[in-house]
Amino acid sequence: FRIPGNQEAVDRMKARYDQGHNDVATGEPDTHVNDVCTLLKLWLRELPEPLIPSAFYEPLMEILRDDINTEHPATVANVVRLAEAMPKEHRELLGFLSTFLKELTQFSNHNKMNSGNLATCFAPSVMRAPEDIPPNVVL
């Protein structure tokens, strides 16, 4: 997810997906994993509403500002409680994505994608600061 895909290949796959084809990864000859990874992040960024909805941005940042140790039980409980309040579609897709990314971390010695690296790669794609928040106040 750190290495960008070939833009022409990504554009072709995106066009196929936009036309209703579900075999975008297998329907292209010589598809590289980086192309598919780039397409996934692009798809997430282009959602009309971020996967973590804008209304949840500030409450999530507040939880993380209070305790950046995301493995602390109280922090986890607060994040789970916030996620449970998200719209069902967002919550379910976030669950699928989280499960997939957790599985990737099991191979971090090979793919260099530990949870921190994955967070760096995916955070901009799954959540965006509301437009009324100045860039210098995002975190």
For the stretch 54-108, pLDDT in tens is: 999 999 988 888 776 667 788 889 989 999 999 999 999 999 999 999 999 999 9
8 Å CB contact between 28 and 9 = yes
**pLDDT for residue 129:** 81
Beta strands in 1-139 (DSSP E): none
* Residue-wise pLDDT tens digits, 122-139: 998 999 887 777 666 555
- CB contact set of 22 (below 8 Å; sequence gap of 6+): none
User: Model-level pTM?
Assistant: 0.83
For position 70, what pLDDT does the model report? 64
Number of Cβ atoms within 10 Å of the Cβ of 23? 10
Task: Name which residue leads in pLDDT, 68 or 6.
Answer: 6
Q: Is the pLDDT of residue 52 over 90?
A: yes
